[in-house]
Amino acid sequence: MSSSAPNKATKPLRIGVLYEQVQMTDLAGLDILGNMSTRVYDMIKEVIPSLKALESYAVPMEFLYISSSLELAWATPEMYIRPSHTYDDAPRNLDIIMLGGPDPYNVPEASLKFLDEASKQCKAILTTCTGGMWLAKSGVLDGKKATTNRILLEAAKSAFPKVNWMDQRWVIDEGHFEGAELWTAGGAGCGKL
């Protein structure tokens, strides 16, 4: 077990997920993160009593699913998720924002405004695949190091020349205030890419 102190948080970790026209695989990390939540811990502690020792490490989490409207939002493969917030009414002071991969040339204008505003308050923005290009389109990655699905690196360099695109599996750069981070990763289903 880690020597770090157990979780003492009483305020939930707020995680915003942009859920509109994205690949579900790109957001697989969401489920892994959610498995560390107090809600999941409470659900399985009776089934697996040996997990009792990990109770103090469970983290309260609140997930906000953000889209253009509150209508069902499409994700691959033919999944429909009910958003809890729109880009206009979602809080900007989230702890984490996650972006999967959409068609980066066809993202809602309201999402770009949301990302620009939220990046000034959010502690971490995590992207996978063309989610990096989505974030770049908002201007948040201007002057920053980033990556995207590596098959699309040349297209990303052409479309978003203010970003320092790296041919790496993942890239972490500083966010817009001390302690904030921008994490970009290549395609979730592309092996080394």
Domain ranges of the chain: 13-26+60-185
Q: How confident is the model at residue 138 (pLDDT cuts 50, 70, 90)?
A: very high
- The rounded distance, in Å, linking the Cα atoms of 118 and 126 is 13
The pLDDT tens digits for 48-105 are: 878 777 788 889 999 999 999 999 999 989 999 999 999 999 999 999 999 999 999 9
- What is the residue whose two structure tokens read 């948080």? 9
Please state, for a pLDDT cut of 90, what percent of the chain lies above it. 66
Could you tell me the two tokens for 19? 């859920």
Tell me how long the chain is: 193
- pTM of the complete model: 0.89
Question: What is the chain's Cα-based Rg?
Answer: 17
β-pairing, 13-18 with 61-67? parallel
Q: How far is CA 148 from CA 70, 97, 104, 167, in A?
A: 28, 16, 11, 9
Q: How confident is the model at residue 17 (pLDDT cuts 50, 70, 90)?
A: very high
CATH topology of domain 13-26+60-185: Rossmann fold (3.40.50)
Residues 6+ apart with CB under 8 A from 41: 51, 54, 55, 58
Please state, for a pLDDT cut of 70, what percent of the chain lies above it. 92
Check pLDDT > 70 for residue 8.
no
